[in-house]
Protein backbone atom coordinates (compact mmCIF):
# COMPACT_ATOMS: atom_id res chain seq x y z
CA UNK A 1 0.00 0.00 0.00
CA UNK A 2 2.94 2.30 0.70
CA UNK A 3 4.13 1.92 -2.91
CA UNK A 4 0.64 2.71 -4.18
CA UNK A 5 0.46 5.94 -2.18
CA UNK A 6 3.90 6.94 -3.44
CA UNK A 7 2.73 6.40 -7.02
CA UNK A 8 -0.36 8.54 -6.44
CA UNK A 9 1.77 11.36 -5.02
CA UNK A 10 4.20 11.18 -7.94
CA UNK A 11 1.28 11.26 -10.37
CA UNK A 12 -0.19 14.36 -8.74
CA UNK A 13 3.15 16.17 -8.67
CA UNK A 14 3.78 15.32 -12.31
CA UNK A 15 0.38 16.66 -13.35
CA UNK A 16 0.87 19.91 -11.44
CA UNK A 17 4.32 20.38 -12.95
CA UNK A 18 2.99 19.69 -16.43
CA UNK A 19 0.18 22.22 -16.00
CA UNK A 20 2.57 24.88 -14.69
CA UNK A 21 5.02 24.19 -17.50
CA UNK A 22 2.30 24.57 -20.10
CA UNK A 23 1.11 27.84 -18.59
CA UNK A 24 4.64 29.25 -18.51
CA UNK A 25 5.19 28.32 -22.15
CA UNK A 26 2.09 30.23 -23.19
CA UNK A 27 3.11 33.22 -21.08
CA UNK A 28 6.60 33.40 -22.57
CA UNK A 29 5.31 33.31 -26.16
CA UNK A 30 2.04 35.32 -26.21
CA UNK A 31 2.74 36.90 -29.60
CA UNK A 32 3.07 33.69 -31.57
CA UNK A 33 -0.43 33.44 -33.02
CA UNK A 34 0.40 31.67 -36.25
CA UNK A 35 1.77 28.58 -34.53
CA UNK A 36 0.08 25.77 -32.67
CA UNK A 37 -0.01 26.86 -29.01
CA UNK A 38 -1.02 23.51 -27.51
CA UNK A 39 -1.65 19.92 -28.45
CA UNK A 40 -5.31 19.08 -28.94
CA UNK A 41 -7.34 17.62 -26.09
CA UNK A 42 -9.49 14.60 -26.87
CA UNK A 43 -11.05 11.40 -25.53
CA UNK A 44 -10.64 7.99 -27.18
CA UNK A 45 -12.45 4.76 -26.34
CA UNK A 46 -10.57 1.61 -27.24
CA UNK A 47 -10.37 -2.16 -27.31
CA UNK A 48 -6.74 -3.25 -27.61
CA UNK A 49 -4.63 -6.39 -27.68
CA UNK A 50 -2.04 -7.01 -25.00
CA UNK A 51 0.68 -9.57 -24.36
CA UNK A 52 1.35 -10.19 -20.67
CA UNK A 53 3.89 -12.16 -18.67
CA UNK A 54 5.04 -12.65 -15.10
CA UNK A 55 8.48 -11.98 -13.61
CA UNK A 56 9.35 -14.27 -10.70
CA UNK A 57 12.40 -12.45 -9.37
CA UNK A 58 16.12 -13.17 -9.54
CA UNK A 59 15.79 -16.08 -7.12
CA UNK A 60 13.57 -17.91 -9.62
CA UNK A 61 15.58 -17.16 -12.76
CA UNK A 62 15.35 -20.85 -13.69
CA UNK A 63 11.71 -20.29 -14.66
CA UNK A 64 12.73 -18.15 -17.62
CA UNK A 65 12.89 -21.20 -19.91
CA UNK A 66 9.36 -22.25 -18.94
CA UNK A 67 7.55 -18.93 -19.27
CA UNK A 68 5.02 -18.26 -22.01
CA UNK A 69 3.12 -15.01 -22.64
CA UNK A 70 -0.63 -14.84 -22.12
CA UNK A 71 -2.67 -12.84 -24.60
CA UNK A 72 -5.40 -10.54 -23.35
CA UNK A 73 -7.36 -7.38 -24.05
CA UNK A 74 -7.81 -3.92 -22.62
CA UNK A 75 -11.11 -2.02 -22.79
CA UNK A 76 -11.35 1.59 -21.67
CA UNK A 77 -10.88 5.26 -22.38
CA UNK A 78 -7.91 7.57 -22.90
CA UNK A 79 -7.90 11.34 -22.37
CA UNK A 80 -5.14 13.57 -23.71
CA UNK A 81 -4.98 17.06 -22.17
CA UNK A 82 -2.98 19.45 -24.32
CA UNK A 83 -0.58 21.50 -22.19
CA UNK A 84 1.74 23.13 -24.69
CA UNK A 85 2.87 22.79 -28.28
CA UNK A 86 5.12 19.82 -27.55
CA UNK A 87 3.68 18.48 -24.33
CA UNK A 88 0.48 16.86 -23.05
CA UNK A 89 -0.71 14.74 -20.14
CA UNK A 90 -2.55 11.49 -20.83
CA UNK A 91 -4.76 9.76 -18.28
CA UNK A 92 -6.45 6.44 -18.95
CA UNK A 93 -8.84 4.08 -17.20
CA UNK A 94 -9.27 0.58 -18.55
CA UNK A 95 -10.10 -3.01 -17.77
CA UNK A 96 -7.12 -5.27 -18.43
CA UNK A 97 -6.37 -9.00 -18.46
CA UNK A 98 -2.95 -9.75 -16.96
CA UNK A 99 -0.99 -12.86 -16.07
CA UNK A 100 1.29 -15.44 -17.60
CA UNK A 101 1.83 -19.09 -18.42
CA UNK A 102 4.32 -21.79 -17.44
CA UNK A 103 5.13 -24.81 -19.58
CA UNK A 104 4.85 -28.33 -18.21
CA UNK A 105 7.69 -29.78 -16.11
CA UNK A 106 8.34 -26.35 -14.60
CA UNK A 107 9.76 -26.38 -11.03
CA UNK A 108 6.75 -24.55 -9.51
CA UNK A 109 3.61 -26.40 -10.65
CA UNK A 110 5.16 -29.27 -12.67
CA UNK A 111 2.14 -29.14 -14.99
CA UNK A 112 1.34 -26.50 -17.60
CA UNK A 113 -0.30 -23.60 -15.77
CA UNK A 114 -1.94 -20.27 -16.50
CA UNK A 115 -2.39 -17.45 -14.00
CA UNK A 116 -4.91 -14.73 -14.88
CA UNK A 117 -5.77 -11.44 -13.20
CA UNK A 118 -8.67 -9.20 -14.19
CA UNK A 119 -7.93 -5.63 -13.18
CA UNK A 120 -8.77 -1.97 -13.54
CA UNK A 121 -5.72 0.19 -14.23
CA UNK A 122 -5.14 3.95 -14.12
CA UNK A 123 -1.95 5.31 -15.71
CA UNK A 124 -1.07 9.02 -15.89
CA UNK A 125 1.59 9.71 -18.50
CA UNK A 126 3.68 12.65 -19.59
CA UNK A 127 3.64 12.81 -23.40
CA UNK A 128 6.30 14.56 -25.48
CA UNK A 129 5.36 15.37 -29.10
CA UNK A 130 8.06 15.54 -31.79
CA UNK A 131 6.46 16.01 -35.19
CA UNK A 132 4.21 13.02 -35.84
CA UNK A 133 5.93 10.99 -33.12
CA UNK A 134 5.15 11.00 -29.41
CA UNK A 135 6.87 9.50 -26.36
CA UNK A 136 5.10 8.45 -23.14
CA UNK A 137 6.28 7.81 -19.59
CA UNK A 138 4.61 7.79 -16.19
CA UNK A 139 3.28 5.82 -13.21
CA UNK A 140 0.21 3.62 -12.98
CA UNK A 141 -1.87 2.04 -10.26
CA UNK A 142 -4.12 -1.00 -10.60
CA UNK A 143 -6.80 -2.82 -8.62
CA UNK A 144 -7.05 -6.57 -9.15
CA UNK A 145 -10.74 -7.49 -9.11
CA UNK A 146 -10.54 -11.22 -9.74
CA UNK A 147 -8.03 -13.89 -10.62
CA UNK A 148 -7.78 -17.55 -11.59
CA UNK A 149 -5.08 -20.19 -11.83
CA UNK A 150 -5.39 -23.14 -14.20
CA UNK A 151 -3.13 -26.13 -13.51
CA UNK A 152 -3.48 -29.28 -15.62
CA UNK A 153 -7.00 -28.30 -16.78
CA UNK A 154 -8.18 -27.59 -13.21
CA UNK A 155 -9.13 -23.94 -12.60
CA UNK A 156 -9.31 -22.35 -9.14
CA UNK A 157 -9.99 -18.78 -8.00
CA UNK A 158 -7.14 -16.76 -6.53
CA UNK A 159 -7.38 -15.57 -2.94
CA UNK A 160 -6.75 -11.88 -2.29
CA UNK A 161 -6.50 -12.26 1.48
CA UNK A 162 -3.33 -11.49 3.42
CA UNK A 163 -2.41 -15.15 3.86
CA UNK A 164 0.22 -17.54 2.52
CA UNK A 165 -0.60 -18.22 -1.11
CA UNK A 166 -2.72 -15.08 -1.40
CA UNK A 167 -2.36 -12.17 -3.81
CA UNK A 168 -2.44 -8.39 -3.54
CA UNK A 169 -5.41 -6.32 -4.69
CA UNK A 170 -3.41 -3.16 -5.36
CA UNK A 171 -0.27 -2.84 -7.42
CA UNK A 172 1.84 0.00 -8.78
CA UNK A 173 3.84 0.18 -11.96
CA UNK A 174 5.50 2.34 -14.57
CA UNK A 175 4.79 2.66 -18.28
CA UNK A 176 7.01 3.85 -21.12
CA UNK A 177 6.54 3.83 -24.86
CA UNK A 178 6.16 5.70 -28.11
CA UNK A 179 3.71 6.23 -30.93
CA UNK A 180 3.08 7.69 -34.35
CA UNK A 181 0.19 9.65 -35.89
CA UNK A 182 -0.75 9.39 -39.56
CA UNK A 183 -3.71 10.13 -41.83
CA UNK A 184 -6.01 7.55 -43.46
CA UNK A 185 -8.86 8.91 -45.61
CA UNK A 186 -8.93 12.26 -43.79
CA UNK A 187 -8.98 10.57 -40.38
CA UNK A 188 -6.18 10.65 -37.83
CA UNK A 189 -4.84 7.27 -36.79
CA UNK A 190 -2.82 7.04 -33.55
CA UNK A 191 -0.54 4.03 -33.05
CA UNK A 192 0.87 3.61 -29.54
CA UNK A 193 3.16 0.84 -28.27
CA UNK A 194 3.86 0.71 -24.55
CA UNK A 195 5.79 -1.42 -22.07
CA UNK A 196 4.16 -1.81 -18.64
CA UNK A 197 6.50 -2.70 -15.78
CA UNK A 198 5.02 -3.87 -12.47
CA UNK A 199 6.91 -2.44 -9.49
CA UNK A 200 5.13 -4.11 -6.57
CA UNK A 201 5.03 -7.80 -5.68
CA UNK A 202 1.54 -9.21 -6.28
CA UNK A 203 2.11 -12.48 -4.38
CA UNK A 204 2.25 -13.05 -0.62
CA UNK A 205 4.29 -16.24 -0.88
CA UNK A 206 6.89 -15.60 -3.62
CA UNK A 207 8.21 -12.90 -5.91
CA UNK A 208 5.80 -12.17 -8.76
CA UNK A 209 5.49 -9.01 -10.86
CA UNK A 210 3.28 -8.22 -13.83
CA UNK A 211 4.90 -7.33 -17.15
CA UNK A 212 3.06 -6.49 -20.37
CA UNK A 213 3.31 -4.93 -23.82
CA UNK A 214 0.30 -2.88 -24.87
CA UNK A 215 -0.46 -2.08 -28.52
CA UNK A 216 -3.09 0.62 -29.08
CA UNK A 217 -4.70 1.86 -32.27
CA UNK A 218 -7.01 4.90 -32.09
CA UNK A 219 -8.92 6.42 -35.00
CA UNK A 220 -10.09 10.03 -34.73
CA UNK A 221 -13.19 11.32 -36.49
CA UNK A 222 -11.36 14.55 -37.33
- Strand locations in the chain, DSSP E? 42-55, 67-68, 70-84, 87-102, 113-130, 133-151, 154-157, 170-184, 187-198, 209-219
Three-class SS of 184-207:
ECCEEEEEEEEEEEECCCCECCCC
Nearest to 87 by CA among 184, 18, 27: 18
pLDDT of residue 9 exceeding 60, the answer is no
Counting the structural domains of the chain, the total is 1
What pLDDT score does 141 carry? Answer: 98
pLDDT of residue 24 exceeding 80, the answer is no
What pLDDT score does 222 carry? Answer: 60
pLDDT of residue 147 exceeding 70, the answer is yes
pLDDT of residue 92 exceeding 50, the answer is yes
pLDDT of residue 7 exceeding 80, the answer is no
User: In whole angstroms, what is the distance from residue 26 CA to residue 221 CA?
Assistant: 28
| CATH code of the domain in which 32 resides | 2.40.160.20
pLDDT of residue 165 exceeding 90, the answer is no
Q: What is the mean pLDDT of the chain?
A: 84
Enclosing domain of residue 155: 2-219
Nearest to 173 by CA among 210, 198, 207: 198
Which residue would you say has higher pLDDT here, 125 or 188? 125
What pLDDT score does 28 carry? Answer: 42
Amino acid sequence: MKHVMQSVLVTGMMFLYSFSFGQSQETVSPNISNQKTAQESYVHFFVNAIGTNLYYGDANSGLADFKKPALGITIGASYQAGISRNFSVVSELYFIMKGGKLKENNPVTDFESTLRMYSFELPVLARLHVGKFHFNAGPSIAYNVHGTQKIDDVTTDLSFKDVEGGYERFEAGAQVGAGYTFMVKQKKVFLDIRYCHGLTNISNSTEMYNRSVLVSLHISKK
